[in-house]
Amino acid sequence: MMKKQTIDRPLALICAALIFSGFLIFSSAALGILARDADEVVSVITGHIGLGFGLGAVALFLASRISYRAWRTYAPYLYGLALFATALVFVPGIGIEAGGAHRWVSIFGVSFQPSEALKIGTVLMLAWYFSRIKKEVGDWVRGFFGFLIIVGLPGILLLLQPDTGTYGVIVIAAIAMYVAAGAHWKSTAALIAVGCVLLAALAFFRPYVFDRVHTFLNPEHDPQGSGYQIKQSLIAIGSGGLWGRGFGQSVQKFELLPEPINDSIFAVAAEEFGLIGSLTLLGLFLALGIRGLVIAMRAPDLFGALLAVGIVAYIVGQSFFNIAAMLGVIPLTGIPLVFVSQGGTALLVALGSVGILLNVSRSARVT
């Protein structure tokens, strides 16, 4: 079979459409911050546009040109480096505490969120590990418990921060890779059981997790408190109607909608572009997932296939969870919408991850 020498064009077009859409939606949502705090919007735009789109574009280009096989050599080191960087959030003078959480690091005046790098770092590590033990993935010791160790180390750091949402995204991608690598159904069932126990424990020991679940089940019990965000989100989405108010015309983003450039940004998009625009955005993420899985099935080796599965699972899974939370389908998670929400570090890592996926498509078998 022939091998491709260029990136997959449908995949490239889907990614370009998502990145361009994200830029437009963020630009409009940022107007809401401008009306609330003109000084804050400067730092927000500088971080998102400069670090995210600027360095992110460079990362995408370089990653798309570097052979994905090169990452296999350095995967354990990159995973270890991501763990180390994430642990720095607890170091006084380096880590930044905000709202009772330790999620940011500031070095030489530059702040970033290292847990974002932990997403792709874990994906690389799992792809490396499973491709090395591919004949023993179904083994309980090397396969199942090896998986638990690789996924458990990020969990310790992230749950201590706490950053439950980010860890949930990592777990989703990890399970998708585990299944794709050939895990036995009994192992998958055991993982689901472990996950349910962990969620129950978090809800018991972490009051904010319990509050989110309670708000999801009964959103009207505290409409001016814990239920305020989902209430305003649904108002924004509903007021968009079929075609939306128009680009830049959202009302909710100025005073009423909490976090209009972060986890609530889908509500801004739905208000301005309506049902048609919302379905288009959903369709683009779905198309990315489908095309990415096609690339995974055509990858010439297991490492490339698992890389593609992990990257697609974390990007699409995180995005769908964000949108579902804004629609009230699942409890609020606090995780951002990939390519759209504020976050220079998140956008940088996402674009770099897309670059790796595009490079895998270069070597995909043509059928």
- CB contact at 8 A, 254 and 332: no
Q: pLDDT-derived band of residue 134, with 50, 70 and 90 as boundaries?
A: confident
CA neighbor of 306 nearest in space, from 83, 133, 66, 118: 133
- CB contact at 8 A, 350 and 3: no
Q: pLDDT-derived band of residue 322, with 50, 70 and 90 as boundaries?
A: very high
Q: What is the pLDDT of residue 290?
A: 96
More confident residue, 38 or 233: 233
Q: pLDDT-derived band of residue 181, with 50, 70 and 90 as boundaries?
A: very high
More confident residue, 87 or 42: 87
Distance, CA of 278 to CA of 135 (rounded, Å): 43
Angle, nearest 10°, between helix axes 115-132 and 70-87?
Answer: 140
Mean residue pLDDT of the chain comes to 86
Helices (H), the chain: 9-36, 38-45, 56-65, 70-87, 115-132, 146-160, 164-181, 185-205, 207-217, 228-239, 252-255, 265-298, 302-326, 344-362
Distance, CA of 296 to CA of 305 (rounded, Å): 4
pTM: 0.91
Region of poorest pLDDT, from 131-135, 196-200, 302-306, 360-364 = 196-200
Backbone angles phi, psi at 218, to 5 degrees: -140, 75
Residue 299 has a CB neighbour count (10 Å cut-off) of 21
Distance, CA of 292 to CA of 312 (rounded, Å): 6
Q: What dihedral angle (degrees, nearest 10) is formed by the CA atoms of 208, 209, 211, 216?
A: 140
Average pLDDT over residues 236-259: 87
Amino acid at 284: L
Q: What is the pLDDT of residue 330?
A: 81
More confident residue, 178 or 215: 178
Average pLDDT over residues 45-57: 79
Render pLDDT for 20-44 as a digit per residue (tens, 0 to 9): 999 999 988 887 776 666 556 666 7
Render pLDDT for 325-339 as a digit per residue (tens, 0 to 9): 888 888 877 788 999
Q: What is the pLDDT of residue 207?
A: 67
- CB contact at 8 A, 358 and 7: yes
The enclosing H or E element of 350 equals: helix 344-362
Whether 256 shows a pLDDT value over 80: the answer reads no
Whether 340 shows a pLDDT value over 80: the answer reads yes
Is residue 365 helix, strand or coil? strand
Q: pLDDT-derived band of residue 2, with 50, 70 and 90 as boundaries?
A: very low
Say what percent of the chain tops pLDDT 70.
87
Q: What is the CA radius of gyration of the chain?
A: 20
Concatenated DSSP letters for 115-132?
HHHHHHHHHHHHHHHHHH
Distance, CA of 241 to CA of 238 (rounded, Å): 6
210: its two tokens: 């319990």
Average pLDDT over residues 227-250: 87
Q: pLDDT-derived band of residue 267, with 50, 70 and 90 as boundaries?
A: very high
CA neighbor of 132 nearest in space, from 140, 364, 124: 124
